[in-house]
Amino acid sequence: MEICLITGTSTGIGHATALHLARLGYKVYASMRNAAKAGPLRERAAAENLPLVIETLDVSDNQSMLSCVQRIIAAEGRIDVLVNNAGLSSSSPIETYPEDEHRAMFEANYWGPVKLTQAVLPSMCAHGRGAIVNISSLVGRLAWANQGAYCASKFAVIGFTQSLAHELAEHKINVNAVCPGTTLTERTGYIAAALNEQDAPTQDATQTMVGSLAEQTPLGRVAEPEDVARTVAFLASAESDYTTGVALLVAGGIQM
């Protein structure tokens, strides 16, 4: 049984991916910053008798990440698949974006995946195999107004992913990034709520961005978390031979 660690599983893409991989037979360590939010995931896993364990992990806390990885390796001996999903998002013009919030965005969205990957790699390299899937974003490939900090952090994830993929190819560790467009998660709701607090020009720009991202998918619809989960499962599996790819999530498949 493959051992998988996923971050940010309390809701949305992480929640869907944890369930999907567990249904495929992975033993999933589903981590989240606040375990008090684990109820729905724990209940669904129990109802389906899925091999899923809830873990506490804060991607902005180095010790939290190290401790989680150590617990899993102590129990299982290895981690075969790492899915770096947890992160922050916001919508605000760069001109008025508070520096502390900008730095917090990079701490969670970029440094979190980097530090957690560094913690997992010794085990993967020792076993000579593994898969790392980073959740970036379509706006990590094509930036939009009022998303500057988020876009920059997701661009950084893609650069990190591609460089790491080249470094780890000789170890037979596949490293990929998935770049979802607009996806129906709680995060989408947060952006919509933020729009209500912005002036009219900013609202118009953000609404245009969201609509355009949806239109860029071949089926022209907003993605569901399960669409992302299926893409992650493919890239984590032996069926995938991508080692340096960045997958653009589309409704009904992926484009590389």
Query: Read out DSSP for 119-171?
Result: HHHHHHHHHT-EEEEEE--GGGTS--TT-HHHHHHHHHHHHHHHHHHHHHGGG
Q: Which helix (H) or strand (E) holds 247?
A: strand 246-250
Q: Are 69 and 80 in contact (CB under 8 A)?
A: no
User: Across the strands, what pairs with 249?
Assistant: 254
Secondary structure of residue 248 in the 3-state scheme:
strand
Question: How far, in Å, are 138, 141, 189 from residue 83 at the CA level?
Answer: 17, 19, 23
CA–CA distance, 87 with 178 (Å, rounded to integer): 14
**Positions marked active-site:** 150
